[in-house]
Structure 1
Amino acid sequence: MNSAIDIAIPDLPITLSRDTPAAEVDEIFQRLRELKSNLGKPTNADNRLTAMIAACIDEGINTSPRIFGTARQLGFDLGHTRRVLRSGIGHTWNRAADDRFSNLI
């Protein structure tokens, strides 16, 4: 049986900086657009947005304002994004005290 001492808590992912070169940001958005395209319309809207938010977090877009802005840039509704982001806390991702999200899956 493992004790709490044996459990490793991963470090929070790096947050994409405002100083990130434009070419790198363009590459990130290209990957996110490609993912959105590959998810297709038949996918449930909540599941599609959940996958997009998880990808944003993986890319370092991991604070509420940045996730909302990115989702908006990718054509998602702000209200829907807020609802999906909030409903995923504790199930799909974790939210730290400094508003940084990390994926649990």
Structure 2
Amino acid sequence: MVSWCIVISEESFKEYTSNGNRFYFCGNGEWWDVPCIPGMGFPHDKYGYSLMAVEITPDNQIASVTSRWNTCAGDTGEFLSSEELWRILGEENFNKLFSK
């Protein structure tokens, strides 16, 4: 469903979280049905937003937001700012990212 390195294996996931970081996977209600076709605004399109991985540091900072297209900060620049993520997730879901 995605080509993220954190989902390749349990060992890979453990390596990315060994520093205390945690991941949240944010999917829209029907993310599995969104076709893998670049849309208007790629990678900020329906497919890109259909499933995202949000990495949170131990001190509750956003380390990265990775789109389903596998674009994130560090690869091609910042995919989403925290304000954009807040707007997409809504206040309640955004705040859930920071509760352990």
Normalization by structure 2: what TM-score? 0.35
| More helix per residue | 1
Bigger relative contact order, structure 1 or 2, given CA contacts below 8 A and separation 6+? 1
| More strand per residue | 2
